[in-house]
Amino acid sequence: MIKLLLVDDSELITGGLAVLLGVETDLTIVDCVDRGERAVELCQHQPIDVVLMDVRMPGMSGVEATKIITETTNAKVIILTTFDEDKYIIEGIKNGAVGYLLKNTEPQQLVQAIRSVMKGQSILSQDVLEKAKQGFHPAQKTADLSSLTPREIEITRLVAAGLSNKQIANRLYLTEGTINNSLSTILHKLALEHRTQVAIYYLTGKAGDHDATF
């Protein structure tokens, strides 16, 4: 059973998510809170597997709460954002978020994202990728993939296109284990930490460092 914490200062959002996710037999909602501080406290005092985190809330923001939660607990954070919050994308990822989805994501896609992060994958919706791409002005810098083999570059391209490891394996007629190993090698060569950073780096040439311009 995957234990969820819903964090949003809108009861309409948390209530709607609770109804949508509550029908899934492998998900259980531990609590719904409206403050980043409360989310941190809950994660530090009881087992939470996945946090669905709003960005803008009174007091501690979602990206601030994400940093504390990921540094002090085992909970995985998926940030839920709206189109006008793209400036937080890299900050959220830098603070440890393993997923970044729009609030209008289809329910089944959200459920799949929750299950995917529990398997160690990172999730970034294609719409959010586009926002990152536009915000970084990719023409200013091109990703340096010279350390990668042609096959690794192709895998990187497919990761940036939003494909899962299983989908990439099917596309390239390889085993999923081979893709997992190749992605680990790609992360090491590019000095990145997870697939979300790989996607952003491929699209923008930037890895979300402190010099990123929004």
With cut-offs at 50, 70 and 90, classify the pLDDT of residue 65: very high
- Asked whether residue 123 falls in the same domain as residue 145, the answer is no
Q: Give residue 96's pLDDT.
A: 83
- Looking at residue 166, which CATH number applies to its domain? 1.10.10.10
Q: Into how many domains does the chain fold?
A: 2
Q: Give residue 211's pLDDT.
A: 31
With cut-offs at 50, 70 and 90, classify the pLDDT of residue 2: very high
Do the domain assignments include residue 212? Answer: no
In the 8-state DSSP scheme, what is residue 84? G
Of 19, 68, 12, which Cα lies nearest the Cα of 39?
68
pTM strictly above 0.85 = no
Average pLDDT, the chain: 83
Q: How far apart are CA 14 and CA 6, in angstroms?
A: 6
End-to-end alpha carbon distance in the chain: 38
Q: Give residue 212's pLDDT.
A: 31
Q: Give residue 3's pLDDT.
A: 96
- Asked whether residue 8 falls in the same domain as residue 93, the answer is yes
Q: How far apart are CA 212 and CA 95, in angstroms?
A: 14
Q: Give residue 6's pLDDT.
A: 96
- Asked whether residue 26 falls in the same domain as residue 109, the answer is yes
Q: How far apart are CA 115 and CA 120, in angstroms?
A: 9
